[in-house]
């Protein structure tokens, strides 16, 4: 009885292809199209995918993903602010339509229908003689105000600061934590403006969030053991500018600074074993305190 000739191995994914190469992990035959370079030999696609799932993704020192180094959130925030300014200019339909402003669509720092709609405003009559403001239930103003600006110069100053501060913080914190820091700091500044400004005073600008980023950068850099001597003078200059120049919302800037610092402390000093839980709980607590302050101010304005 004659023996059958030995069969040539074929790729387990492509049965029509002969091969003498085997996966170094599962020992199945693989053709050149299925080979994936490994530290030793080659692996099949399934073993490579299984290995990737078993590898824990890299994290920053504060628990965020390393994708933050690309600055996607910073760029997106800048794009949103620019878009809001373009819509603001369009809403004015020419310089004569700007409410209390100067120049076409508020380019020189004036108000527009969009800024009137979205600014932090306690309680006042609007240009259409309707009563509006946060005390009248327009709580969205506490968020929209941080994306609106009085003109191009106002926007450029804030976006330059956001570009410089945001990329560093996003790289250290990760995208989600950085976005939370920015939004909570901006919200905190707007709540402070609502609490301590005249009910008829309108406030807009990303500077509430930007001042929070200043405070956060100092705390984060110190937590990492880095030198902060170059950051302090810039913050001091901005604080002097805030206090000396008329028309700037002092409560908004200082409120953003304080709330940004609190949020940064939560992110930077959460214990490693329960980092995410503590960070989420800390952020929730800050939001609850801000909510309570808004309710208190609203009750005071309506009495």
- 121's enclosing H/E stretch is none
Residue 184 and residue 262 in contact, taking contact as beta carbons nearer than 8 Å: no
Give me the catalytic one of 88, 111, 207, 249. Answer: 207
* Residue found under tokens 């080979």: 35
149 classed as catalytic:
no
Residue 210 and residue 248 in contact, taking contact as beta carbons nearer than 8 Å: no
**CA-angle at 76, arms to 70 and 81, nearest 5°:** 145
Q: Within 10 A of 70 (CB to CB), how many other CB atoms are there?
A: 13
Alpha carbons 280 and 33: distance in angstroms, whole number: 45
Q: What is the DSSP string of 256-285?
A: HHHHHHHHHHHHHHS-GGGHHHHHHHHHHH
Tokens of 268: 């930077």
Give me the catalytic one of 42, 149, 154, 253. Answer: 253
168 classed as catalytic:
no
Q: What is the DSSP letter of 56?
A: P
Residue 240 and residue 285 in contact, taking contact as beta carbons nearer than 8 Å: no
Active site residues: 207, 253
């Amino acid at each position: 009885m004659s023996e059958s000739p030995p069969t040539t191995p074929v790729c387990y994914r492509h049965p029509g292809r002969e091969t003498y190469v085997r996966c170094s992990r599962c020992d199945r035959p693989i053709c050149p199209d299925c080979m994936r370079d490994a530290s030793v030999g080659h692996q099949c696609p399934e073993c490579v995918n299984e290995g990737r799932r078993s590898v824990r993704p890299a994290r920053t020192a504060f628990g965020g993903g390393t994708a933050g180094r690309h600055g996607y959130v910073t760029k997106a925030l800048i794009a949103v602010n620019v878009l809001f300014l373009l819509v603001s200019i369009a809403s004015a339909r020419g310089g004569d339509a700007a409410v209390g402003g100067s120049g076409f669509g508020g380019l020189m720092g004036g108000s527009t229908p969009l800024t009137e709609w979205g600014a932090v405003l306690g309680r006042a009559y609007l240009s259409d003689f309707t009563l509006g403001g946060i005390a009248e239930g327009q709580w969205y103003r506490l968020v929209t105000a941080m994306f609106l600006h009085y003109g191009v110069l106002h926007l450029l100053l804030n976006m330059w600061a956001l570009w410089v501060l945001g990329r560093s913080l996003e790289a250290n914190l990760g995208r989600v934590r950085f976005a939370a820091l920015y939004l909570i700091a901006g919200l905190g500044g707007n709540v402070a403006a609502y609490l301590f400004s005249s009910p008829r005073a309108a406030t807009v600008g990303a500077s509430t969030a930007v001042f929070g980023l200043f405070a956060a950068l100092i705390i984060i850099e110190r937590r990492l053991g880095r030198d902060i001597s170059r950051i302090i003078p810039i913050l001091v200059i901005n604080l002097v500018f805030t206090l000396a120049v008329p028309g700037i919302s002092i409560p908004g800037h200082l409120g953003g600074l304080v709330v940004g610092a609190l949020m940064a402390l939560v992110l930077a000093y959460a214990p490693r074993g329960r980092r995410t839980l503590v960070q989420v709980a800390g952020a929730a607590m800050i939001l609850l305190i801000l909510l309570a302050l808004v309710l208190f101010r609203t009750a005071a304005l309506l009495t």
